[in-house]
Amino acid sequence: MSKLVDSFNRKHDYLRISLTDSCNFRCLYCMPDENMQCLPHKELMQPDEIYEIAKTFTNFNTNKIRLTGGEPLVRHDFSEIVEKLSQLPAEITLTTNGVLLHKYLKLFKDKGIKSVNISIDSLDPQVFQSLTKRNVLSRVWENILLYVEEGFHVKLNVVVMKGINDKEIVNFVELTKKLPLHVRFIEFMPFSGNQWEKDRVVTMPQMLQVVAEQESIAKLKDEVNDTAKKYMIQNAVGTFAFITTMSQPFCGGCNRMRLTADGKMKNCLFGKDEFDILGTLRKKNDILPVIQQCLFNKHKKMGGQFEDFKKVNPEDLTNRSMIKIGG
The overall average pLDDT reported for the chain is 90
In tens, the pLDDT along 81-124 reads 999 999 999 999 999 999 999 999 999 999 999 999 999 999 99
Q: How many CB atoms lie within 10 A of CB 51?
A: 18
- In the predicted model, is pLDDT for residue 29 greater than 90? no
What is the mean predicted confidence (pLDDT) over 52-68?
A: 97
What's the distance, CA 69 to chain centroid? 9
**Using 50, 70 and 90 to split pLDDT, how confident is the model at 318?**
low
Q: Map residue 18 onto helix, strand or coil.
A: strand
Cis preceding-peptide flag for 70 (omega within 30 of 0) = yes
At 320, is the pLDDT very low, low, confident or very high (cuts 50, 70, 90)?
low
Backbone angles phi, psi at 108, to 5 degrees: -65, -40
Confidence category of residue 308, pLDDT binned at 50, 70, 90:
low
**Is the pLDDT confidence value at 285 over 60?**
yes
The secondary structure of 31-54 as a DSSP string is S-SS--PPPPGGGSPPHHHHHHHH
Decide: pTM greater than 0.85.
yes
More confident residue, 196 or 14: 14
Q: Are 172 and 166 in contact (CB under 8 A)?
A: no
Q: Report the C-alpha gap between 63 and 15 in whole angstroms.
A: 8
Distances (CA, A) of 157 to 109, 226, 278, 327: 22, 15, 29, 11
